[in-house]
Each structure stands twice: as C-alpha cells, then as structure tokens.
Structure 1
Amino acid sequence: MKNLQDTTILNNGVKMPWFGIGVFKVEEGPELVNAVKTAIKHGYRCVDTAAIYGNEEGVGQGIHEGIEVAEISREELFVTSKVWNSDLGYESTLAAYETSLQKLGLEYLDLYLIHWPVDGKYKEAWRALETLYKEGRVKAIGVSNFQIHHLEDLMNDAEIKPVINQVEYHPRLTQKALQEFCREHDIQLEAWSPLMQGQLLDNPVLKDIASKYHKSAAQIILRWDLQNGVVTIPKSTKEHRIIENASVFDFTLTKDEMDRIDQLNQNHRVGPDPDHIDF
C-alpha cells in the first residue's frame, strides 16, 4: 500500500481502494457535498454511504463535482451504499437499490451491502443482491455488521459469497476471530468507525507511537488498520483532516507497535451489537 489509489482485489476480481471516505451522520447540505468533492480532489477514490444516512443525494452531487474537479471518470471511483433494515426482503431490496441509484445520480454501484443482519430477513435481501449482481447492475455485493454465525448461515444458502464484511473495527474492538474467519473465506474486512468516534485520540499508547513518526494518533490507528489488511473509511468534513487522514502511506509500524495497539482491545463497541438488533 503505497498511496490512496492502491487497491485490494476482492474475491470476484473487482479492485477496491484500501482507503476511502465515510459520511455517516453527515447531513445533506453544502458541507457534505464539499467534503466528498474535496476528498476526490485530494486523491480519494472510495466513497461510502448508506440509505439510512439520508444523504445519498448530497453524496451524489459531491461525486459528480469531484469527478469534474479531479478530471477523472466515474469508473475510477468506488462507490458503496447499503440497504436498510426496513427494506430487507427480495422485492423491497431491489426497489431500495433503484432508489439509492436515483438519489446518487449514478447508473450503478461498485458495492451494495446489507446494512445489518436482521434475523429472518437478510437471506431474501441477499437473493436480491445476487440478482442485481448477475444482471450486472452492481459490481460487487457484501454485508455489514455480520458476525461469524451470520456469515455461516448466509453462505449455507447463498449462490454468491460476500466480497466484503464492513464492521465496527478499532483498537478497542479488534474482532480477531471474525477477521480470521473472513480471511479464511476470502471475505475482505472493512472498518467503520475506525477512530472510535474520536474516543481514542488521547490514548497514551497511540500518542507515544505517534510522536515517533511525527504523526497524529488518528494516523497511527488508520495505519494499523491498513497493515492489518483492513479497508478503512474514516469520516471527516474538514479539508485539512481529509488530507491528514490519508497521509498514512509514508511510514510503517513495527510488529511491536502493532502488538501494542492490539493489546488495547477491550471488545468495546460504540455502535449496536449485531446479535441484538432492535431497529
């Protein structure tokens, strides 16, 4: 991983950038549009949103403006969205995909995910994703917030294996068993909330390592993600932070430093527990 355009090859042969921008909880409006456009201008090629974020229209506008500013083609970007729990089901998932495309102003998505493993619903939604994939409407399909038993259950009946499992992942929640399972089954792990919503930025271990490299604690975490083979999508709307987050390709953490960060794990979540979904 040498730069922002470096990619991992998913199990269906599609290339996905290791690093991107997330827009969770960024409301529609000029700030959102400018954040996406700015990220693309500074070399980001991966953009992650979801239907439930309520901001697909602004993300789409930012993508179109970013393409123009960066003078690149749509095909050079990797755009992800997700189907929400209330739309899980075969026909409703197909309809949700069309709605997301319309809001984003795009002809296709690079990746479409089931957002949460709602019991009794995700298998029908997966059938819809398989249909979209077979029809060439989406480049790749995957899941989000699936635990090992959810993945096993899905793959028992699935024709197509997920390419991605996007989960909460940070030094307080390393999910080693899940990561190993995904590695064994050639499912790429992707991190949401990699900075634990800012709760780790004053951690003394991370600050100590950061001082050695003249980096921020956030940059150390993001580098740790990448060296663990995890795609990562930090959120920011500030241009200086968007640039800083991506400045993680000019140093390498040692094994000892990686181990020290691993030891921060407490199996602590800032988001919901995927085994107890009530929304």
Structure 2
Amino acid sequence: MNHQEYVKNKMPLVVIDAGLKVGYRFIDTAQVYGNEEAIGRILQTVLPEHGLKREDIWITSKLAPANAGMKEARTSIEKSLKNLKIEYIDLLLIHWPGSSLKSENPKNKLLREESWKVMCEMMEEGKLKSIGVSNFEICHLEELKNKSEIIPAVNQVEYHPHFHQDDLVKYCRKNNIHFQAYSSLGSPTYRQQLSEEVVVKDLAKKYNVEIPVLLLGFAYCQGISVLPRTTSSEHVASNFKVTELTISQEDIDRLLALTTEHKTCWDPRVVV
C-alpha cells in the first residue's frame, strides 16, 4: 500500500478510533471532502468496539456548492445518507453561499433559497435533525431569515486571532445561531505566522499549553465550538486538552485586540 492509499484507507480509521477513545463524539465532514463513504464504513466497525451506538455520536455534513438547487440538493443529500450508512444526519449545512456559478451571478441567491427549502423539507421527513450554513455573511443570513421561518442552527466560519468577525459573532448570538469555528489554527500555509504572534506565544506559556491548544481555546473559551482537524492520532489526543482550558476574559480581550486581519480560506464576502 503506497502513502496515498494509506491515507485514504487506513488513516481515517486510525484517527476516528483514536478520537472515540479520547472522548470525541462529533464528526464533521462534507460532500466535497470525498470521505463520507469511508466514514460510514469505519463507523460501522469502530462504534461497536467502543460500546457506542449511532445515536451516541453527532455527524455534520455539508451540501456542496455544485449541488445547490432544488433537484441537486435532494439527490446529493440522499447520496450522503447512503454513503454515511445512516438514516439521518444530525446537522447538514449549506457549505457555501455560492454555487458552481460565478460569485457575482444573482442566481446564487435563488439556488440558496431552493437548497434551504429542500433541507427544511428533509428535516420534516426526519432525514435531517437540524440544518444550518457555513461561510455565510450577515447579508446571506438576513436573506434566509426573510425567506424562511426556520433559522439556521449553526453558522460555521473561519475564526482565529487574526480573523475574528466580531460583528458576525454578535449577529449570530443575537439571532440564536450557534457560531462555530473552523481553521482555528489558520490554514496550513498561514499556521506558522499565527503561531509566531507574540501574544499567542505569551499566553500559551502562561497557561502551560501548546500553541494549537491555546488557539483552539481562543474560540472554545468564548462558547464557540471548534473543529480541530488532523491526520495524527497524537494530535487528536492533544487537541482534546482544550476542554480542560479556561482562558480569562482579560486574555481573550488581548487576542481580540490584535489588529492583524488575514483570512486564510475562501472569502464569501464576494458572493451575491
């Protein structure tokens, strides 16, 4: 088995098994990640080994931009259920406010509305327990709010000391939308710069934790859930230490006061 085959076939099993052993009960995936089928197969094997049932874990997946729209959304969600080998998804998110169309195409708005309608219907059918969005700006959230009585349960966005969208956080809290952070450590190409931030290094030393744990704690200690991503079973265990970390509000404010702004992932602000 070459390295690529190992990562595809073996690594997910090792990481999921290690995560369940440590105490993780939440798995985040997406149609565009291409690993739903592997996760479904692995969970059928490892859940019984840990004495767990389907209802003991939470699975989030995301509707791919290319699958936006009435017909495509339903067909792809049904496929996700089949790939994951489950009867329901705990939380399904619209992955991106855009679609396969250009960001400035006004049809994106219509496709968002159609996708949301399908997801609402599938929630009523019991195939989705809850629904939400990812990478949505306030303008996108306001559109949904004006078109549907069902408010997104979650908005999953990039969030770290060099990109903390304070207005968006406040909006979500005011509207009872759970704010969830991804890329808490920065993207792989920006991780080093974020780790070298003086305040970050000082606080990691103060709280006697590794820098990744401190960065996860920046969101976690504000009541913002985090999505640590790794292919290492060792990092699975070390990242879980954030659940034991309490950062003072004073130190959270020091991180919020950083003036550097750098978005490391795709930017939804250009999507109409």
On whether the aligned pair clears a TM of 0.5, the verdict is: yes
Residues 175 and 267 in structure 1, CA contact (< 8 A), matched pair in contact too: no
Residues 179 and 225 in structure 2, CA contact (< 8 A), matched pair in contact too: yes
Give the Cα–Cα distance (whole angstroms) in 2 for the partners of residues 45 and 207 of structure 1: 30
Point out the more displaced range, 56-65 or 125-134.
56-65
| 2:258 paired with 1:264 | yes
1:124 alignment counterpart: 114
Q: Identify unmatched segments of 5+ residues in structure 2.
A: 1-5, 99-107
| 2:202 paired with 1:208 | yes
TM-score, with normalisation over the residues of structure 1?
0.86
Cα RMSD after superposing both structures: 1.7
1:74 alignment counterpart: 54
How many aligned positions are there? 253
Point out the more displaced range, 230-239 or 180-189.
230-239
What amino acid is the match of 1:143?
Answer: V
Give the Cα–Cα distance (whole angstroms) in 2 for the partners of residues 227 and 104 of structure 1: 31
1:4 alignment counterpart: none
CA deviation map 1:16-57 (0-9, x unaligned) = xxxxxxxxxx96321122212221121101100000011111
> Equivalences for 1:135-174 in 2 at 5 Å?
135-174=125-164
Residues 220 and 242 in structure 2, CA contact (< 8 A), matched pair in contact too: no
Q: Which runs of 4+ in 1 moved over 4 A?
A: none
Structure 1 residue 84 displacement after superposition = 0.7
Structure 1 residue 184 displacement after superposition = 0.3
Structure 1 residue 194 displacement after superposition = 1.0
Residues 37 and 65 in structure 1, CA contact (< 8 A), matched pair in contact too: no
What amino acid is the match of 2:249?
Answer: K
What amino acid is the match of 2:225?
Answer: V
> Equivalences for 1:88-107 in 2 at 5 Å?
88-107=68-87
Structure 1 residue 204 displacement after superposition = 2.3
Point out the more displaced range, 48-57 or 199-208.
199-208
Structure 1 residue 94 displacement after superposition = 0.8
Residues 28 and 57 in structure 1, CA contact (< 8 A), matched pair in contact too: no
What amino acid is the match of 2:11?
Answer: E
Name the larger-Rg structure: 2
Counterpart pick for 2:219 among 214, 225, 228: 225
Structure 1 residue 202 displacement after superposition = 2.9
Give the Cα–Cα distance (whole angstroms) in 2 for the partners of residues 28 and 38 of structure 1: 17
Q: Identify unmatched segments of 5+ residues in structure 1.
A: 1-25
| 2:30 paired with 1:50 | yes
Point out the more displaced range, 78-87 or 67-76.
67-76
Residues 112 and 138 in structure 1, CA contact (< 8 A), matched pair in contact too: yes
User: What SS class does the counterpart of residue 246 from structure 1 fall into?
Assistant: helix
Structure 1 residue 249 displacement after superposition = 2.6
Alignment identity in percent?
Answer: 35
2:124 alignment counterpart: 134
Structure 1 residues 50 and 224: CA distance shift in structure 2, 3 A = same
Structure 1 residue 248 displacement after superposition = 1.7
Residues 169 and 179 in structure 2, CA contact (< 8 A), matched pair in contact too: yes
Give the Cα–Cα distance (whole angstroms) in 2 for the partners of residues 27 and 93 of structure 1: 29
> Equivalences for 1:17-36 in 2 at 5 Å?
28-36=8-16
| 2:99 paired with 1:109 | no
Structure 1 residue 272 displacement after superposition = 1.1
What amino acid is the match of 1:148?
Answer: I
Give the Cα–Cα distance (whole angstroms) in 2 for the partners of residues 185 and 153 of structure 1: 13
TM-score, with normalisation over the residues of structure 2?
0.88
Point out the more displaced range, 71-80 or 196-205.
196-205
| 2:264 paired with 1:276 | no
